[in-house]
């Protein structure tokens, strides 16, 4: 029996020829990530181990992107990580104007490459499967142990294959595809599994769309999501970078296989309080909203901002009953949006444009929702209290649907604009 791409990468990181689903292994990761929420806890646990130095200072990545508590508390969190990074001479330390949202920043900076094993103390670390890497979220204690020993104890996940076929309907993006899939299989439909994507539609998915899809595999309970590298991947990665390409064997063992006819997928909206509570936007009655957010680790790429700007265009205004927040995912994306005139389109329409960070998605800074308020967001989660008050409601969609809804004042399909 052959192996899947995930099994091949994990086998390589263990120094083995073959690993099997269900087997317990200790792979050596290429990258270990933590942010300003999880890194302080990981550092605390690391120091308890009595190890003076991290196993490899060039394989540790700290990205200060969440700013999860009040101003003074946040400063203390940042100080802990900043001082540890200096003490350990960590090369990959990102803060302020050099940072951005980690799950867009790391692929953008090519810190994670095809064939890598990347682990991170953040559940959406699974995003990096977009470039053909094995990537998964871990706890702060596991991150501490990995920083000390350079390995991770884990079980090889079983693989589920998703064959994407058919044609893409107008305004359907990677976000709509993954919301549709989560709606079909449920939030535990891929529990501790590897979600592997293949099929003719994959050739039409940009790297931004692949990042979105892999990012949200954790919302189906998955251990990781992954695309086999192809011409799109090779174009995205600089020629100067060295990496290894893996692909699944034709006789690989899959726990399940789903054939997804994308011709049947229309712009999706996930209703509270689960990413799996999905609906075709065309079937929704008018749901009036108080806020729209476009950004986050799921949908803050320059491609996402271009789609939103295409719908808003010059001269159009955000509905007076709606607050709209735009969050470019990295400073590089922000600069590109500024150069292309997208920021002017957003601000002229009445939207606020934020620095790149995760705070809005967590409801702990600008954009926090009050009781009874409704927000349509391109973020990845809509759990109870996710963006503020527990009696607020968060709906999930693509940037196209979000932009159209900001103008209309209620959840709308882009064709209505």
Selected residue with higher pLDDT from 386 and 363? 386
Give 208-257 pLDDT, tens digit per residue: 999 999 999 999 999 999 999 999 999 999 999 999 999 999 999 999 99
**Spatial distance between the Cα atoms of 181 and 379, rounded to a whole number of angstroms:** 16
Q: Tokens 């994990």 identify what position?
A: 10
Chain centre distance of CA 285: 29
**Spatial distance between the Cα atoms of 296 and 377, rounded to a whole number of angstroms:** 9
Q: What is the gyration radius of the CA atoms in the chain, in angstroms?
A: 21
Q: Tokens 């949202």 identify what position?
A: 101
Return the percentage of the chain with pLDDT > 70, whole number. 99
| β-bridge pairing 158-165 and 154-155 | unpaired
Average pLDDT score, the chain: 96
Are the C-beta atoms of residues 312 and 345 closer than 8 Å to each other?
yes
Predicted TM-score (pTM) above 0.85: yes
> In the beta sheet, which residues pair with residue 252?
2
Domains and CATH numbers, the chain: 5-150+157-261 (3.30.499.10), 268-416 (3.30.499.10)
Per DSSP, the residues of 281-325 read GGGPPP-B-SEEEE-TTTS-SHHHHHHHHHHH-TT----TT-EEE
State the average pLDDT over residues 10-37: 97
Give 409's DSSP letter. S
Q: What is the pLDDT of residue 362?
A: 80
State the average pLDDT over residues 109-120: 98
User: Which residues, including other chains, have CB under 8 Å from residue 182's CB and lie 6 or more apart?
Assistant: 189, 216, 219, 220, 270, 275, 276, 278
**Spatial distance between the Cα atoms of 17 and 3, rounded to a whole number of angstroms:** 10
Check pLDDT > 70 for residue 364.
yes
> In the beta sheet, which residues pair with residue 94?
63
User: Which residues, including other chains, have CB under 8 Å from residue 28's CB and lie 6 or more apart?
Assistant: 13, 14, 117, 150, 151
State the average pLDDT over residues 369-392: 96
Query: With bands split at pLDDT 50, 70 and 90, how would you rate the model's confidence at 137?
Result: very high
Give 65's DSSP letter. -
Q: What is the pLDDT of residue 321?
A: 98
Check pLDDT > 80 for residue 314.
no
79 burial class (0-12, 13-18, 19+ CB within 10 angstroms)? exposed
Query: With bands split at pLDDT 50, 70 and 90, how would you rate the model's confidence at 71?
Result: confident
């Amino acid at each position: 029996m052959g192996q899947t791409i995930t099994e091949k990468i994990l086998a390589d990181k263990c120094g083995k020829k073959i690993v099997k689903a269900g087997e317990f292994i200790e792979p050596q990761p290429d990258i270990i990530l933590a942010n300003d929420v999880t890194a302080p806890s990981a550092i605390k646990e690391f120091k308890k181990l009595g190890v003076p130095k991290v196993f490899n200072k060039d394989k540790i990545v700290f990205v200060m992107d969440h700013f999860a508590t009040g101003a003074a508390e946040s400063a203390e969190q940042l100080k802990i990580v900043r001082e540890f990074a200096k003490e350990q001479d960590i090369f990959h330390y990102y803060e302020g104007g050099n940072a951005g949202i980690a799950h867009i920043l790391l692929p953008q900076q090519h810190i994670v490459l095809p064939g890598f094993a990347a682990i991170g103390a953040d559940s959406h670390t699974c995003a990096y499967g977009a470039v053909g890497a094995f990537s998964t979220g871990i706890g702060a204690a596991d991150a501490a142990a990995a920083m000390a020993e350079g390995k991770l104890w884990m079980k090889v996940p079983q693989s589920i294959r998703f064959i994407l076929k058919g044609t893409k309907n107008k305004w359907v993006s990677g976000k709509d595809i993954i919301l549709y899939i989560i709606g079909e299989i449920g939030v535990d439909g891929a529990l501790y599994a590897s979600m592997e994507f293949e099929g003719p539609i994959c050739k039409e998915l940009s790297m931004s769309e692949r990042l979105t899809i892999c990012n949200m595999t954790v919302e189906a309970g998955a251990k990781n999501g992954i695309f086999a590298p192809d011409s799109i991947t090779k174009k995205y990665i600089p020629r100067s970078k060295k990496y290894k390409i893996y692909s699944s064997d034709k006789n690989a063992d899959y726990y399940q296989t789903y054939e997804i006819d994308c011709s049947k997928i229309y712009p999706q909206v996930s209703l509270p309080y689960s990413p799996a509570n999905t609906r075709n936007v065309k079937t929704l009655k008018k749901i009036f909203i108080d806020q729209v957010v476009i950004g986050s680790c799921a949908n803050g790429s320059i491609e996402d901002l271009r789609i939103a700007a295409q719908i808003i265009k010059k001269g159009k205004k955000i509905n007076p009953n709606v607050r709209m927040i735009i969050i470019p995912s990295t400073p590089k994306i922000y600069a590109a949006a500024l150069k292309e005139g997208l920021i002017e389109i957003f601000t002229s329409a009445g939207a606020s444009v934020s620095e790149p960070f995760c705070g809005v998605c967590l409801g702990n800074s600008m954009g926090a929702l009050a009781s009874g308020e409704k927000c349509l967001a391109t973020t990845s989660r809509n759990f109870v209290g996710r963006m503020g008050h527990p009696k607020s409601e968060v709906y999930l969609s693509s940037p196209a649907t979000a932009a159209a809804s900001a103008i209309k004042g209620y959840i709308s399909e882009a064709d209505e604009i």
